[in-house]
């Protein structure tokens, strides 16, 4: 069990550029979550997948954000036309038994 893996861990991008984050959940975990966390705040729910199906999206997930999990394994979170307000840590999490949700180390995004 290698845990939830996220890549890249840190990303600095210029405003207006697109960025993509990847999440590899724990093997055979069928549910995968994305959260966003800004400094001094708790994680905010963005979206989650059951296998390859995206079951819920938060209103925080604007049209510039898109998440996919094409084969029900890894997931990507893409942010188009980044804005400074997108600067945050993006956390991925997964669960297999539905009782314990495991989080990755997060991907830090800085938009300059």
Partner 1 sequence: AQSVTQPDIHITVSEGASLELRCNYSYGATPYLFWYVQSPGQGLQLLLKYFSGDTLVQGIKGFEAEFKRSQSSFNLRKPSVHWSDAAEYFCAVGAGSSSASKIIFGSGTRLSIRP
Query: Interface with partner 1 includes 75 (CB under 8 A)?
Result: no
What are the Cα distances from residue 22, in Å, to 4, 9, 77, 79?
Answer: 11, 10, 7, 12
Query: Interface with partner 1 includes 44 (CB under 8 A)?
Result: yes
Among 2, 63, 70, 98, binds partner 1 (CB under 8 A): 98
49 contact partners, CB below 8 Å, separation of at least 6: 31, 32, 33, 55, 67, 69, 72, 75
Closer residue to partner 1 in complex, CB, 80/87: 87
Q: How many residues bind partner 1 (CB under 8 A)?
A: 26
Among 56, 78, 81, 112, binds partner 1 (CB under 8 A): 56
Q: How far is the CB of 78 from partner 1 (least distance, A)?
A: 20
Answer yes or no: are the C-beta atoms of 92 and 9 closer than 8 Å.
no
């Amino acid at each position: 069990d290698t845990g939830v893996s996220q890549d890249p861990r840190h990303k600095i991008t210029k405003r207006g550029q697109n960025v993509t984050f990847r999440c590899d959940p724990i093997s055979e975990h069928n549910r995968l979550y994305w959260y966003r966390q800004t400094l001094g705040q708790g994680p905010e729910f963005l979206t989650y997948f059951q296998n390859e199906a995206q079951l819920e999206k938060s209103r925080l997930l604007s049209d510039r954000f898109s998440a996919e999990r094409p084969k029900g394994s890894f997931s990507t979170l893409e942010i188009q036309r980044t804005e400074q307000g997108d600067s945050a840590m993006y956390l991925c999490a997964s669960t297999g038994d539905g009782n314990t949700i495991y989080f990755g180390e997060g991907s830090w995004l800085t938009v300059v």
